[in-house]
């Protein structure tokens, strides 16, 4: 049994030292042969919360999990730079299998229509959907992953299950989004996804996830987690704005960036660029002047280049999401995304 153990840390460390977005392409092209492998007797763990109080935040910010996670976001950010969603990208059979898991979860929504109840609360039919998701993820992942990787399922499936919202509160926010991105990161770390899959991972898998959570938000009227989405840009999401702004770097059609506010641009390009699909969604679900309901995005529109917006959003994500205890207290740590300190000091 041989696992390809992909690490995103080298890239991340470079990025942090120079505090700019470095050249991720070198890392992506890393030869599979050079890829270190998980030891044959690697012990997977059921992931658990580890940040229990504000003082534990320092552990998180110095952890291997933090380095891997931020390195992963930066690596995919680099891979999709300047590319529209329709770009011709390789779609491996492993990507297709993960997509069918998501299609299946999406279909389950049809089985649980919202029930009659007071409008102002999240719809409790969401609990039934989540229940079905949780009872079926093991089977779905067994169908999707190679036999060699089945031992990893108890560890990685929790990240997937936690990525659609909280069933008690019927809310959704950037913590759930983070859980899905960690699930993807784990799929790389066990070698189920490879650097060749980077573009498809964002454009097909993550984009499909986005359409599912939007459907859940609308159908079950999910509340924004936290006090009205303080830890997100549009009440719910953050990452599609990061990756979406990377797509818009060095393209002439949506430039200057303030054009993302124009209705005809949104209509024309929302199927090509995640950033515009996010703006379109906001305009669908929110009433009133954009500058009022989405003030942060409004301010961003004044920035002169997409490169600056992209770099600014990554910094903002670290500051406004990754360093906030109310978000990080729910993060799960296991053998693939460990809380142990990095670099390991002896
Ligand atoms: C899927 O979930 C449903 C509802 O909880 C359950 O009845 C069914 O047995 C599950 N299927 C599998 C394969 O676990
Ligand atoms: C969901 O919300 C409930 C109620 O606030 C909380 O006790 C629970 O820990 C949350 N679940 C997760 C997985 O964050």
Minimum-distance ligand to the CA of 179? 2
Q: Residues with Cβ within 6 A of ligand 2? A: 162, 166, 168-169, 330
Q: How far is the CA of 342 from the centre of ligand 1 (A)?
A: 40
Place of tokens 């898998």: 205
Please report the domains of the chain, with CATH numbers, ordered by start residue. Answer: 48-112+119-333 (1.20.120.1150)
Pairing of strands 223-224, 332-333: unpaired
Confidence tier at 230 by pLDDT (50, 70, 90): low
From 166, 167, 179, mutation site for ligand 2 pocket: most ligand atoms within 8 A of C-beta: 166
The pLDDT confidence band at residue 281, using thresholds 50, 70 and 90, is very high
Q: Distance, CA 215 to ligand 1 centroid (Å)?
A: 22
Q: Quick one: residue 229, left, alpha or beta (phi over 0 = left, psi -120 to 50 = alpha)?
A: left
Which residue's CA lies nearest to atom 10 of ligand 1?
136
Q: Best substitution site from 105, 136, 137 to test ligand 1's pocket, by max atoms within 8 Å of Cβ?
A: 136
Q: 3-class SS at 287?
A: coil
pLDDT, one tens digit per residue, over 1-45 is: 344 556 777 543 333 333 333 444 444 444 444 455 677 788 999
Lowest mean pLDDT segment, chosen from 24-28, 100-104, 244-248: 24-28
Whether residue 228 has pLDDT greater than 70 = no
Q: Which residues line ligand 1 (CB under 6 A)?
A: 131-132, 135-136, 139
How many A from CA of 171 to the centre of ligand 2? 10
Note the pLDDT tens digit of each residue in 175-217.
999 999 999 999 999 999 999 999 999 999 999 999 999 999 9
What's the CA-to-centroid distance between 168 and ligand 2, angstroms? Answer: 6
Residue 157 CA to residue 140 CA, distance in Å, equals 10
The pLDDT, as a whole number, for residue 116 is 92
Give 205 Cα–ligand 1 centroid separation in angstroms: 23
Q: What is the distance of C-alpha 172 from the center of its chain?
A: 13
Tell me the ligand closest to 105's alpha carbon: 1
Ligand nearest to the CA of 130: 1
CA of 98 to the centre of ligand 1 (A): 19
Q: CB-side exposure of 148: number of CA atoms within 13 Å?
A: 13
Provide the pLDDT for residue 64.
93
Report the candidate in 119, 214, 153 with the shortest Cα–Cα distance to residue 336: 153
Dump the DSSP string for 34-64.
GS-EE-TT------EE---SGGGHHHHHTBH
Is pLDDT above 90 for 233? no
Task: Retrieve residue 76's tokens.
Answer: 């995919």
pLDDT tens digits for range 140-159 = 999 999 998 999 999 999 99
Looking at residue 66, what is its pLDDT?
96
Mean pLDDT of the chain: 89
**CA 175 to ligand 2: nearest atom:** 14
Q: Please, what's the largest Cα pairwise distance for the chain?
A: 59
The predicted-structure confidence for 113-145, as pLDDT tens digits, reads as follows 999 988 788 999 999 999 999 999 999 999 999
Nearest ligand 1 atom, CA 139: 13
Residues 6+ apart with CB under 8 A from 179: 159, 160, 162, 163, 330, 331, 332
Q: Which residues contact 41 (CB under 8 A, 6 or more apart)?
A: none
User: Given this model, what pLDDT does residue 340 score?
Assistant: 94
Q: Which two tokens stand for residue 215?
A: 């459907």
> What pLDDT is stored for residue 226 in this prediction?
77
Q: How far is the CA of 140 from the centre of ligand 1 (A)?
A: 10
Q: Specify the residue with its C-alpha closest to ligand 2, atom 11.
A: 166
CA 308 to each of CA 85, 143, 248, 278: distance values in angstroms, whole numbers, following the listed order: 21, 42, 11, 19
Per-residue confidence (pLDDT) for residue 36, from 0 to 100: 56
Ligand nearest to C-alpha 134: 1
Cα 301 to Cα 24, 297, 308, 340, distances in angstroms: 26, 6, 11, 39
pTM listed for this prediction: 0.91
The tokens describing 62, both together, are 């110095």
């Amino acid at each position: 049994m041989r696992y390809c153990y992909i690490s995103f840390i080298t890239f991340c460390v470079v990025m942090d030292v120079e505090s700019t977005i470095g050249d991720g392409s070198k890392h992506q092209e890393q030869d599979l042969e050079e890829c270190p492998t998980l030891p044959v007797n690697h012990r997977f763990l059921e992931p658990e919360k580890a940040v229990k109080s504000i003082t534990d935040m320092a552990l998180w910010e110095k952890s291997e999990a933090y380095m891997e996670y931020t390195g992963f976001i930066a690596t995919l950010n680099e891979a999709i730079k300047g590319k529209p969603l329709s770009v011709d990208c390789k779609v491996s059979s492993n990507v297709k299998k993960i997509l069918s898991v998501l299609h299946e979860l999406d279909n389950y929504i049809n089985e649980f229509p919202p029930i009659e109840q007071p409008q102002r609360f999240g719809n409790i039919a969401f609990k039934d959907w989540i229940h079905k998701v949780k009872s079926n993820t093991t089977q779905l992942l067994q169908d999707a992953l190679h036999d060699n990787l089945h031992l990893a399922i108890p560890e990685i499936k929790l990240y997937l299950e936690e990525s659609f919202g909280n069933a008690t509160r019927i809310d959704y926010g950037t913590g759930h989004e983070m859980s899905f991105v960690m699930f993807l990161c784990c799929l790389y770390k066990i070698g189920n996804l490879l650097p060749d899959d980077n573009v498809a991972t964002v454009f097909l898998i993550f984009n499909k996830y986005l359409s599912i959570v939007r459907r859940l938000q609308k159908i079950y009227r999910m509340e924004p987690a936290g006090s009205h989405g303080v830890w997100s840009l549009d009440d719910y999401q953050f990452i599609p704005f990061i990756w979406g702004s990377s797509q818009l770097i060095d393209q002439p059609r949506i430039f200057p960036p303030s054009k993302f506010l124009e209705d005809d641009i949104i209509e024309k390009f929302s199927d090509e660029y995640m950033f515009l699909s996010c703006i379109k969604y906001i305009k669908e679900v929110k009433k009133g002047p954009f500058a009022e309901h989405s003030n942060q995005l409004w301010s961003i529109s004044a920035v002169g280049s997409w490169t600056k917006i992209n770099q600014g959003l990554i910094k903002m994500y670290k500051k406004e999401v990754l360093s906030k205890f109310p978000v990080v207290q729910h993060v799960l740590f296991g053998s693939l995304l460990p809380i142990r300190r990095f670099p390991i000091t002896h």
